[in-house]
Structure formats: structure tokens, C-alpha cells
């Protein structure tokens, strides 16, 4: 995606990773406020978010490591 836009891959993936971590931090607290009539357990939400976010992040890093894509251009 970054190559198609002729941009830096490091500048593309950095904000995405930051947004993923921020989502895990705020969503378990924001979701009960957004859905006032329901009972939502923040720990269950945080657990599932951490599982899926970390799984996708690790998959992304493994794919980048196994391919010969250099994120930082010299």
C-alpha cells in the first residue's frame, strides 16, 4: 500500500500500530458508555481485543520479516 502511494512503509505502519494499541486501551472503557442499556464486561472486551490485535500485529511483523521488505530506507 505504501509502495503504491510512493511513500515510506515505516511511516505507513507506525500510525496503524499506534491506533491498534490505542483502541485496545480506550475501547473497553468507552463501549459501556456508548451502550448504556447493556451490560458489557470491559475485561472480556479487552481480552478479545488484545488477542486479535496482537495476533494481527505479530502476523504483520512476521510477514515483513520473512519478506525482504526494508522499512527504513538508507
pTM over 0.85: no
> Does the pLDDT value for residue 20 go beyond 80?
no
Find all residues with CB under 8 Å of 1, minimum gap 6, and list them. 12
**Within a domain: 72:** no
**Within a domain: 2:** no
Domain limits at 43?
9-66
1-to-49, 60, 64 alpha-carbon distances in Å:
24, 13, 13
pLDDT band, residue 68 (cuts 50/70/90):
low
> Does the pLDDT value for residue 1 go beyond 70?
no
The string of pLDDT tens digits covering residues 21-54 is 788 788 878 888 888 887 778 788 878 888 887 7
**Within a domain: 3:** no
**Within a domain: 26:** yes
What is the number of structural domains in the chain?
1
Amino acid at each position: 500500500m505504501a509502495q503504491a502511494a510512493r511513500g515510506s512503509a515505516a511511516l505507513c505502519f507506525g500510525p496503524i500500530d499506534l491506533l491498534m494499541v490505542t483502541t485496545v486501551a480506550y475501547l473497553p472503557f468507552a463501549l459501556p458508555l456508548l451502550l448504556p442499556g447493556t451490560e458489557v464486561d470491559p475485561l472480556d472486551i479487552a481480552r478479545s481485543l488484545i488477542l486479535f490485535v496482537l495476533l494481527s500485529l505479530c502476523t504483520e511483523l512476521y510477514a515483513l520479516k520473512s519478506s525482504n521488505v526494508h522499512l527504513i530506507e538508507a
